[in-house]
Amino acid sequence: MERECVFCKIIRGESPADFVYKGEEIVVFKDIRPEAPIHLLVVPRKHIPTVNDLTEEDRLLVGEMFLKARAIAQRLGIAERGYRLILNVERGGGQIIFHLHMHLLGGW
Ligand code: AMP
Ligand code: ZN
Protein backbone atom coordinates (compact mmCIF):
# COMPACT_ATOMS: atom_id res chain seq x y z
CA MET A 1 0.00 0.00 0.00
CA GLU A 2 2.65 2.52 1.06
CA ARG A 3 4.95 1.07 -1.56
CA GLU A 4 2.40 1.90 -4.26
CA CYS A 5 1.20 5.20 -2.78
CA VAL A 6 1.80 8.10 -5.20
CA PHE A 7 2.65 10.57 -2.44
CA CYS A 8 4.94 8.11 -0.61
CA LYS A 9 6.80 7.68 -3.89
CA ILE A 10 7.18 11.45 -4.22
CA ILE A 11 8.37 11.69 -0.60
CA ARG A 12 10.91 8.88 -1.17
CA GLY A 13 12.15 10.65 -4.31
CA GLU A 14 10.99 7.86 -6.62
CA SER A 15 8.53 10.12 -8.46
CA PRO A 16 9.11 13.74 -9.45
CA ALA A 17 7.40 16.72 -7.83
CA ASP A 18 7.91 20.45 -7.67
CA PHE A 19 8.71 20.92 -3.99
CA VAL A 20 8.35 24.26 -2.24
CA TYR A 21 9.21 22.90 1.21
CA LYS A 22 10.84 19.78 2.63
CA GLY A 23 10.82 19.33 6.39
CA GLU A 24 11.29 16.53 8.85
CA GLU A 25 7.57 15.85 9.23
CA ILE A 26 5.96 17.62 6.29
CA VAL A 27 6.63 18.30 2.63
CA VAL A 28 4.85 20.76 0.35
CA PHE A 29 4.75 20.44 -3.43
CA LYS A 30 2.77 21.86 -6.32
CA ASP A 31 -0.42 20.13 -7.40
CA ILE A 32 0.04 18.59 -10.82
CA ARG A 33 -3.39 19.86 -11.95
CA PRO A 34 -3.66 23.32 -10.38
CA GLU A 35 -7.13 24.74 -9.80
CA ALA A 36 -5.83 28.16 -8.74
CA PRO A 37 -2.80 30.33 -9.59
CA ILE A 38 -1.21 28.85 -6.47
CA HIS A 39 -2.22 25.27 -5.70
CA LEU A 40 0.00 23.41 -3.25
CA LEU A 41 -0.35 20.18 -1.32
CA VAL A 42 0.74 20.07 2.32
CA VAL A 43 1.64 16.44 2.96
CA PRO A 44 2.91 14.63 6.07
CA ARG A 45 5.75 12.20 5.42
CA LYS A 46 3.85 9.65 7.50
CA HIS A 47 1.44 7.56 5.43
CA ILE A 48 -2.00 8.21 6.91
CA PRO A 49 -4.74 7.39 4.38
CA THR A 50 -7.48 9.83 5.42
CA VAL A 51 -8.59 12.17 8.19
CA ASN A 52 -10.63 9.22 9.44
CA ASP A 53 -7.38 7.36 10.19
CA LEU A 54 -5.88 10.06 12.42
CA THR A 55 -5.06 8.98 15.96
CA GLU A 56 -4.21 10.77 19.16
CA GLU A 57 -0.50 10.52 18.31
CA ASP A 58 -1.07 12.62 15.16
CA ARG A 59 -2.29 15.63 17.16
CA LEU A 60 0.96 17.60 16.74
CA LEU A 61 1.33 16.62 13.09
CA VAL A 62 -2.08 18.03 12.23
CA GLY A 63 -1.16 21.28 13.96
CA GLU A 64 2.08 21.37 11.97
CA MET A 65 0.16 21.03 8.71
CA PHE A 66 -1.92 24.11 9.48
CA LEU A 67 1.04 26.17 10.70
CA LYS A 68 3.11 25.19 7.67
CA ALA A 69 0.26 26.10 5.31
CA ARG A 70 -0.02 29.49 6.97
CA ALA A 71 3.76 30.06 6.88
CA ILE A 72 3.91 29.27 3.18
CA ALA A 73 0.92 31.47 2.42
CA GLN A 74 2.72 34.28 4.23
CA ARG A 75 5.97 33.59 2.40
CA LEU A 76 4.17 33.68 -0.95
CA GLY A 77 2.42 36.92 -0.04
CA ILE A 78 -1.15 35.58 -0.24
CA ALA A 79 -1.93 35.32 3.47
CA GLU A 80 -3.59 38.70 3.96
CA ARG A 81 -5.62 38.60 0.77
CA GLY A 82 -6.86 35.15 1.66
CA TYR A 83 -6.60 31.55 0.58
CA ARG A 84 -8.39 28.23 0.92
CA LEU A 85 -7.33 25.14 2.85
CA ILE A 86 -9.18 22.02 1.78
CA LEU A 87 -9.16 18.46 3.02
CA ASN A 88 -11.14 15.96 0.98
CA VAL A 89 -12.11 12.94 3.08
CA GLU A 90 -12.88 9.52 1.55
CA ARG A 91 -14.31 8.97 -1.93
CA GLY A 92 -17.60 10.65 -1.10
CA GLY A 93 -15.66 13.74 -0.06
CA GLY A 94 -13.74 13.84 -3.32
CA GLN A 95 -10.54 12.21 -2.09
CA ILE A 96 -8.56 10.53 -4.88
CA ILE A 97 -5.14 10.09 -3.29
CA PHE A 98 -5.33 8.13 -0.05
CA HIS A 99 -2.36 9.75 1.67
CA LEU A 100 -3.40 12.61 3.92
CA HIS A 101 -2.92 16.04 2.32
CA MET A 102 -4.20 19.56 2.64
CA HIS A 103 -4.79 21.67 -0.46
CA LEU A 104 -3.63 25.28 -0.28
CA LEU A 105 -5.26 27.38 -3.00
CA GLY A 106 -4.83 31.09 -3.59
CA GLY A 107 -3.22 33.83 -5.60
CA TRP A 108 -6.33 34.93 -7.45
P1 AMP B 1 -7.67 14.71 -3.53
O2 AMP B 1 -8.89 14.76 -4.40
O3 AMP B 1 -7.80 15.60 -2.32
O4 AMP B 1 -7.24 13.31 -3.19
O5 AMP B 1 -6.55 15.42 -4.38
C6 AMP B 1 -5.44 14.78 -4.91
C7 AMP B 1 -4.68 15.85 -5.63
O8 AMP B 1 -3.40 15.35 -5.94
C9 AMP B 1 -5.32 16.31 -6.95
O10 AMP B 1 -5.55 17.72 -6.91
C11 AMP B 1 -4.28 15.93 -8.01
O12 AMP B 1 -4.19 16.88 -9.05
C13 AMP B 1 -3.01 15.85 -7.20
N14 AMP B 1 -2.00 14.94 -7.71
C15 AMP B 1 -2.17 13.68 -8.16
N16 AMP B 1 -0.99 13.13 -8.53
C17 AMP B 1 -0.05 14.09 -8.31
C18 AMP B 1 1.36 14.15 -8.49
N19 AMP B 1 2.05 13.11 -8.98
N20 AMP B 1 1.99 15.30 -8.17
C21 AMP B 1 1.31 16.35 -7.69
N22 AMP B 1 -0.03 16.36 -7.48
C23 AMP B 1 -0.70 15.25 -7.79
ZN1 ZN C 1 1.54 7.34 1.25
Strand intervals (E) in 6-92: 19-22, 26-30, 38-44, 83-86
pLDDT of residue 84: 98
Give domain status of residue 39, yes or no. yes
Residue 72 host element (H or E): helix 59-75
SS3 25: coil
CA 101 to ligand 1: nearest atom: 3
pLDDT of residue 1: 62
pTM of the predicted protein model: 0.97
pLDDT of residue 68: 98
pLDDT of residue 30: 98
Give the closest ligand to the alpha carbon of residue 105.
1
Question: Ligand 1: which of 35, 96, 99 to mutate, most ligand atoms within 8 Å of CB?
Answer: 96
CATH number, domain at 77? 3.30.428.10
Between CA 44 and CA 24 the distance in angstroms is 9
CA 103 to ligand 1: nearest atom: 3
Give domain status of residue 92, yes or no. yes
pLDDT of residue 2: 82
Q: Which residues have CB under 6 Å of ligand 1?
A: 6, 15, 17, 31-33, 41, 88, 94-97
Give domain status of residue 33, yes or no. yes
Give domain status of residue 1, yes or no. no
Show pLDDT as tens, one digit a residue, over the chain (108 residues). 688 999 999 999 999 999 999 999 999 999 999 999 999 999 999 999 999 999 999 999 999 999 999 999 999 999 999 999 999 999 999 999 999 999 999 999
Do residues 78 and 20 make contact, with C-beta atoms less than 8 angstroms apart?
no
